[in-house]
A and B are shown apart, each in its own frame.
Chain A
Amino acid sequence: MTHTATFLGIPPFPIAAKEALADSQLRGNMHLATHTIRTKRARVAAELDDWEQLRVAGAAIKDDVMANMGRYLEQLEESLTAAGATVHWARDAAEANQTVIDIARRHAVDEVVKVKSMATGEIGLNTALEQAGISVWETDLAELIVQLGDDLPSHILVPAIHRNRSEVREIFLREMGKVGMPAEPNLSDEPAELAGAARLHLREKFLRAKVAVSGANFMVAETGTLVVVESEGNGRMCLTLPEVLISVVGIEKIVPTWAGLEVFLQLLPRSATGERMNPYTSTWTGVTPGDGPQEVHVILLDNARTTVLADEVGRQALRCIRCSACLNVCPVYERVGGHAYGSIYPGPIGAILTPMLKGVGTSTSTDALPFASSLCGACYEVCPVRINIPEVLVHLREQVVDSHRGGVPGTLLTTMKGASWLLGGGWRLGLLQKAAGLSTRVLWKQGVIGRMPRPLSRWTDARDIPAPPKESFRAWWARTDGGRKKVVGSPHGTPRNGTDQK
């Protein structure tokens, strides 16, 4: 099937966000979804009295991986090879995609089944395979909904979160028959029935598949063991039934020892779906004679991870275990949904990971992402590996500003220069405050200032500013001698606390 949906061409965040905010159905779906998962997560995290110690250990294990990445990669390669797997290295997306295509061609297949994987989404594997004439069947229910609807994922864990049941039913009825077993014409929109339709549709594909493609949640350097954490069993199908298994895994997915999984297999399911444990976790170590794929490939993917690694502040993003807890608590994500981020990685983690992977200063879309946050810090609080996302956001904002320095000074710089002149002298500020008190009353509605003319509209389009009071603190002080002079019949009264001093 042709898969044409792409994040390319999605407008920068502020514009995409505005469109998303106008979609009340989307906002309703997102509100319900994010609040449901965040409540479940909070409940199961609170069940473990050592949750904080687990978070600290999780972060420390990942930091150790980063500090010794080269050694662990070589160790992993050695243990994988000893276990009968073939190890490939891919500097970038094109190299990884070509490796998958070459393996598929060697087996003369025209289709592969696929386990949901962020890494393969990041490198655009589906498009590359289809261009090479190889059909790709996404087997995760949500990924199937996204693929059949020629749509884009909007959440790391539940990528079709923006679709409701009747939309899913329509997509299944319309599209399933074009690519395989059609859905029953009397299919209802009950989630259980829709899942049943996916089971039937995909079963024939699972049973005949020769080659499967997966990612992995973890790779154990010590033993060469790969781990896939899932719910539906589509992962098990792909990892077990085909003859050939190709796993594309980011180099940061390493866990040094098997014992280290005792931390992550507690942190991940509780943070992701809010369950004590996800229905299925599969681990495999190369080839097991007589059980599962007898040809196992692992593609170790860089694709700018080493650039992130070189960024002292930003590298903590490589701890990420893709649980999406940060999405579910983010006030921005909750309101705009995933598509506005224009990346396979949405939400707070996407706002730091995408610019670092794609490069700051390379596009306006990417550069807008570090600003798509109120810096409230909820993401940091829930992150199971303690990624200080607000810290990285601020760090990247700096980089974005720096990357646009030189040439004509921008609005920001001009404004700051002006502000420095104004604030530099008391009389200038006083004059401004007086002017502001008068002029903004024109723009004032219900105590806030709405849209202001350009270039100030760049600020006010996304924010409301409290209107300044009628009298400034400075003016009040001068008039009343700091409140000591009793002024009879004052037209203004005493200024309210705190609002005047700006």
Chain B
Amino acid sequence: MNAREEILRRVKAAQVTPTGHPIRRDYARTRDLPDPVGLFVERVEDYEATVIRTDPGGVAVAVAKSLAGARRVVVPAGFNTSWLPEDIDVVRDEPPLSAADLDQVEAVVTGAVVGVAVTGTIVLDHTEGQGRRALTLVPDLHVCVITAEQIVGDVPEAVQRLTPCVKRGRPLTWISGPSATVDIELIRVHGVHGPRTLRVVLVDSPTS
């Protein structure tokens, strides 16, 4: 009997009888938040990431400010070029940069797919404008542009909104603040292996 058959046989032999109760999902599937966008800003800042809130016209300026002088910047294909400042040296990922090349750029600017207000989380599905996963991992500064419409209340709403992405096989990266560790004496230290600095540019909708 091979390992697969053996394990499935053992599982069957364990004879677990179902509890018969349906899974109760009476936890909050949505959260009624008075100001989700404001909460998102507050919660992202709790992780010591900075947020610049701007109207659509001010994005390029906010990105420039967030880059804080970084010159060589990776920008993934599909990123809205009107959001980029003019005085940067844009590095394209076409053909794909090696990990060592990526290690030599100062920053990366991307979009996102979902923001979570309660947890201050940004989610990337690495489609257009967000780049493959390595782009937002190796450079030391990540500037992420997210729009107010992309922000949902809490985790269940995010999971639901991301369902089509997952069903299409997209990988996801959920980012809540910069890379951190508490492994030495439980003192929170920023920046181990991921970007040590995370700056978020939040674009309010033109109507609001």
Contacts and interface: CB of A to CB of B under 8 A. Distances in A.
A275 interface: yes
Contact of A203 (B103, B119, B178): B103
Contacts of A196: 191
Given A265-B155, A278-B176, A279-B194, A231 B182 contact: yes
B193 to A, nearest CB: 4
B159 A232 contact: no
Given A63-B19, A64-B18, A195-B189, A141 B155 contact: no
A277 B119 contact: yes
A50 B28 contact: yes
A199 B193 contact: yes
B186 A32 contact: yes
Contact of B103 (A53, A207, A291, A300): A207
Given A158-B182, A158-B186, A234-B193, A282 B171 contact: yes
B166 interface: yes
Nearest to B168: A285
A95 B3 CA distance: 9
A68 interface: yes
B61 to A, nearest CB: 28
Interface string A282-323: 111110101110000000101000110110000100000000
A60 B24 contact: yes
Interface string A368-387: 00000000000000000000
B207 interface: no
Interface stretch (A12-20, A254-262, A350-358): A254-262
Contacts of B192: 141, 195, 198-199, 231-234
Interface stretch (A160-168, A329-337, A399-407): A160-168
B132 A291 contact: yes
A86 interface: no
Interface string B40-83: 00010011000000000000000000000000000000000000
A192 B8 contact: no
Interface string A130-147: 000000000111100100
Interface residues on B, range: 35 or more
A225 B163 CA distance: 11
B186 A67 contact: no
A197 B116 CA distance: 33
A266 interface: yes
Interface string B134-170: 1001100000000000000011101110010011011
B36 interface: no
A240 B187 CA distance: 27
Contacts of B170: 285, 288
Contacts of A68: 18
A236 interface: yes
A263 B25 CA distance: 9
Interface in B67-121: 96, 99-100, 103, 116, 118-121
A195 B191 CA distance: 8
B126 interface: yes
A277 B171 contact: no
Given A53-B26, A91-B6, A259 B172 contact: no
B11 A306 contact: yes
B189 to A, nearest CB: 5
Contacts of B158: 262
Contacts of B154: 266
Interface string A23-49: 000000100110011000000000011
B184 A263 contact: no
B175 interface: yes
A164 B14 CA distance: 45
A231 B181 contact: yes
Contacts of B171: 282-285, 288, 291-292
B129 interface: no
B132 A282 contact: no
B3 A281 contact: no
Contacts of B137: 233, 236-237, 240-241
Interface stretch (A69-77, A420-428, A476-484): A69-77
Nearest to B99: A207
Nearest to B98: A207
A294 to B, nearest CB: 12
B185 interface: yes
A89 interface: yes
Contact of A36 (B126, B156, B160, B186): B186
A225 B174 CA distance: 14
Contacts of B174: 265, 277, 280-283
B18 A160 contact: no
Nearest to A311: B14
Nearest 3 CB-CB pairs, A to B? A233-B194, A306-B10, A233-B193
Given A237-B193, A277-B176, 5 more contacts: A67-B16, A74-B8, A241-B137, A259-B163, A266-B154
17 contacts: A66-B16, A69-B11, A89-B7, A191-B189, A199-B193, A203-B103, A232-B193, A232-B194, A237-B137, A241-B137, A258-B167, A259-B160, A262-B158, A276-B119, A277-B174, A291-B133, A306-B14
